[in-house]
Structure 1
Amino acid sequence: MLGLIGMFGGLILLIVLTMRGMNLLIAAPLTALFVAVLNGLPLFPQLAGEGAANYLTNYMDGFTGFIASWYLMFLTGAIFGKVMEDTGAADSVSRWIVGKMGMKRAALAVVLACAVLTYGGVSLFVVAFSVYPMALSLFKQANLPRRFIPAALAFGSTTFTMTSAGSPEIQNWIPIEFLGTSPYAGWEVSAIVAVFMMVFGYWWLTKMINKAKSKGEEFESRSTDPNNESRKELPNPLLSMLPLLIVLGFSYIFHDSLGTSALIIALTGGIISTCLINIKFIRNLSKALGDGAMGAVIAIANTAAVVGFGGVVKATPSFEAAVDVMTGIPGSPLIGGALAVAVIAGLTGSSSGGQAIALPLLAPHYLDMGVDPEALHRTVSISSGSLDSLPQGGYVVTTIRSIAGETHRDAYPAFGALSVVVPLLGAVLAVILFSIGL
């Protein structure tokens, strides 16, 4: 009992500290320590048996493991965004979009840009880095409150694309190994759910933005924003879109052979093509490279801090007990699977982690019961993209704080509505549709 209090109490404490603005490099290890102490984990490897779980090893394995796996993707993604910003390419594309779609649809343009890149296989973190400069320019020209930018980025990346049939994102591929399905499993239901999430989510985003504007909220410039006011000329908007297409194309071409490493090639191609196409518009390339590198370090450190917390949580006996309870939920296997994956994703702060932990336990049991593997695949995939976006989630912290420079207090209400509530409703709809035999 004390261990469960420690685990859920630590999670709640981390969420509270995150919402109050505490630095995650302090909050995450402190709350992980709280979890470890109440679960009786040894604090140091010297106090534990050989190979046994302990606070320090499990936290640092999670922390350093994430950096080792993702640093170069974060680095190239952040630099690509800064180069697009420095050359004026992001501003040029955003002005062209506003001219074609109108200022009232600036938020929709951000959502669609994220959706195209995500469905094309670009990592969620990289999409946020890449699209943010354009999103900032779009919101500035449309005079929309900038605190909604993270919500627009997340909505376009983590809802109707990330977990939909055919998506190359890992959240759609993990179930294949355990269920023997394909990336297009349950595509009919997936299409209906995706349309629902997109329409309902965009309506909700628009409503929140309009409500804020009616209260007098406007776009507020900051000293750290790129200054393009003095530019006499901007690059050609259509040519400025080519680097984004190159990133999308390279990631698609090399995805099967290189996996996530394809993003390094794709983003490097995007950086080089941006510089070559807009060479005469470059202002300060060395500063853009330096700012991008620093932004990547801050972003990945914040995310890794939360991943380390998840590493400690997963090593506790109470986590194993919670998994046993969640995977043994009676009733409809689709409901049990969706709840188990969502809750575990929330505890670990990772949608892929929720699936990877729950499916090895769920899949054999449910398949023996005769559950449709395609229905289970799509249901757990959609549900995995819900509670992983609680305030302490790695993607959440990176997007809100490190990329957009907002506070959780200002940005998370809209962010959570679109990246937690909307996917949860999508999962409920999927269960209903599969249950009636669609």
Structure 2
Amino acid sequence: MLSMIGLVGGLGLLIFLTMRGMNLLVAAPLCAVFLAVLSGIPLFPQLVAEGEANLVGNYMAGFSGFVASWFLMFLLGSIFGKVMEDTGAADSVSKWVVERLGMKQAVLAVVAACAILTYGGVSLFVVAFSVYPLALSLFKQADLPRRFIPGALGFGSVTFTMTSAGSPEIQNWIPIKYLNTSPYAGWEVSLIVAVFMIVFGFWWLQRMIKKAVANGERFVSRAGDPVVVERELPNPVLGLIPLLVVLVISFIYHDSLKQSALIIALLGGIVATWALNRRHLKNVWESASNGTLGALIAIANTAAVVGFGSVAKVSDAFTSAVEAFTHIPGSPLIGAAIAISVIAGMTGSASGGQSIALPLIAPGYLDAGVNPEALHRVVAISSGALDSLPHNGYVVTTIRGICGESHKDAYAAVGALTVIVPVIGVIIAIVLFSLGVGI
């Protein structure tokens, strides 16, 4: 009983502290201590025999293990995004989308710009930083409430693009290691689910904004608002080519190199961006250095909550929960979806949730004859649902750090679009796979 209180209470405390603005690198270890004390987990490795569970050992094993496995992907993804940003390639693509859709479709333009950049392999954090000034300008000109900008950015970045078949984002690549699949696993169902998310999510976003406007909400300018700096930008085609390079290289090498293909793909994207747009980049090494710092922040925030999850998974409550999840009557895909969603929610990270849950559930499901393609797609989509609870690193950074909003004002839209919409998408995917679609 105390272990369950520690598990649920630790997660609740982590969400509370995050919403109060505490840094994840501080909040996650504190909550891990709370969980460990109530679960009876020894605090230090010196207090147990070698190899036995303890707070410090398990937390740092989870933290360092995630960094060791995914640092190069985070690093190259961040540098690629930074080079795209500094050359103006990302802005060029975004502006091209805006010009084609027009000012009357301001919200759609923001969502589309995020989607194109994300599916092209640009880091989620970099996409938010890159598109935010344009989104702010569009919302200002359309006189729309700015508190919906985080929702628009999140909807375009972490829903139908992040977990779809073919996406170079790591949330679509982690299952490959455990299921021996490809990034295109279950693409037929993935396409149907993505279309649903686009249509339903955009309708819901528009409805929320229209309701707010009808209640008298308008755009309110603030001192220090960033502006879109007018500068010479590369041709949009030269901005799109590096995104295509990432997708093509990952497609060519995914069978032979699995998740390591993403390293080559992102490196190819960096080289292509620099080669095609180098006259717009003043200092390539400074850009790479800034990208490195961005990668360190992003992976540290994710690893911090993975560390919390690594402590959680040695608690009695966690073991009981996973046992219950993996033995839910009916389709094994339902159990997998629930397990991944809940663990991703606990860790506040889609990639962290997959890294913790898949080693535990994949062998048993595969031995039971579950189709690995279907399992891959259900795992990917479900990981992008409850991961977007308030303590998620991307959510915190986008709402507070980039957009300057509060969780109180902005999270309702973010939660609706990045939690509820993907949950419905998971349900649709499970139904379709159960009917034999794409298998």
TM over 0.5: yes
Q: Distance in 2 between the 1:387 and 1:49 partners?
A: 36
**Distance change in 2, residues 1:315/1:405 (3 Å):** farther
RMSD of Structure 2 on Structure 1 (CA)? 3.5
* 2:321 is aligned with 1:318: no
Aligned residue in 2 for 1:43:
43
Q: Distance in 1 between the 2:183 and 2:295 partners?
A: 31
| Equivalent in 250, 262, 265 of residue 260 of structure 1 | 262
Residue pair 2:29, 2:308 contacting (<8 A) in 1 also? yes
Q: Distance in 1 between the 2:86 and 2:175 partners?
A: 41
Aligned partner letter, 1:28: A
Count of aligned pairs = 426
Note the alpha carbon deviations across 1:242-283, whole angstroms, 9 max, x for none: 44444545555555533332355145325524651425xx5x
Residue pair 2:247, 2:265 contacting (<8 A) in 1 also? no
Q: Show the 5 A alignment for 1:357-396.
A: 357-365=360-368, 367=369, 375-396=374-395
**Distance change in 2, residues 1:437/1:263 (3 Å):** closer
Identity of matched residues, %: 58
Q: Show the 5 A alignment for 1:213-228.
A: 213-214=213-214, 215-218=216-219, 220=221, 223=224, 225=226, 228=229
Question: SS state of the match for residue 335, structure 2?
Answer: helix
Q: Distance in 2 between the 1:170 and 1:286 partners?
A: 25
Residue pair 1:175, 1:359 contacting (<8 A) in 2 also? no
Q: Show the 5 A alignment for 1:214-293.
A: 214=214, 215-218=216-219, 220=221, 223=224, 225=226, 228=229, 231=231, 233-252=232-251, 257=257, 258-262=260-264, 264-269=266-271, 272-273=274-275, 276-279=278-281, 282=282, 292-293=291-292
Question: SS state of the match for residue 161, structure 2?
Answer: coil
Residue pair 1:239, 1:277 contacting (<8 A) in 2 also? no
Residue pair 1:303, 1:397 contacting (<8 A) in 2 also? no
Residue pair 1:304, 1:394 contacting (<8 A) in 2 also? no
Structure 1 residues not aligned, in runs of 5+:
none
Q: Distance in 2 between the 1:89 and 1:190 partners?
A: 28
**Distance change in 2, residues 1:158/1:166 (3 Å):** same
Aligned residue in 1 for 2:347:
348
Question: SS state of the match for residue 391, structure 1?
Answer: coil
Deviation, 1:416, is 1.7
Aligned residue in 2 for 1:57:
57
Residue pair 2:168, 2:250 contacting (<8 A) in 1 also? no
- Structure 1, 387-396 or 320-329: larger mean CA deviation: 387-396
TM-score by length of 2: 0.81
Q: Distance in 1 between the 2:179 and 2:82 partners?
A: 41
Q: Distance in 1 between the 2:250 and 2:376 partners?
A: 24
Question: SS state of the match for residue 268, structure 1?
Answer: helix
**Distance change in 2, residues 1:108/1:391 (3 Å):** same
- Structure 1, 258-267 or 53-62: larger mean CA deviation: 258-267
**Distance change in 2, residues 1:20/1:133 (3 Å):** same
Q: Distance in 2 between the 1:166 and 1:248 partners?
A: 8
Question: SS state of the match for residue 42, structure 2?
Answer: coil
Question: SS state of the match for residue 40, structure 2?
Answer: coil
Q: Distance in 1 between the 2:189 and 2:138 partners?
A: 38
**Distance change in 2, residues 1:141/1:270 (3 Å):** farther
Q: Distance in 1 between the 2:341 and 2:240 partners?
A: 36
Note the alpha carbon deviations across 1:12-50, whole angstroms, 9 max, x for none: 111111122222222111111101111111111111211
**Distance change in 2, residues 1:266/1:136 (3 Å):** farther
Note the alpha carbon deviations across 1:138-160, whole angstroms, 9 max, x for none: 44134255544443343234333
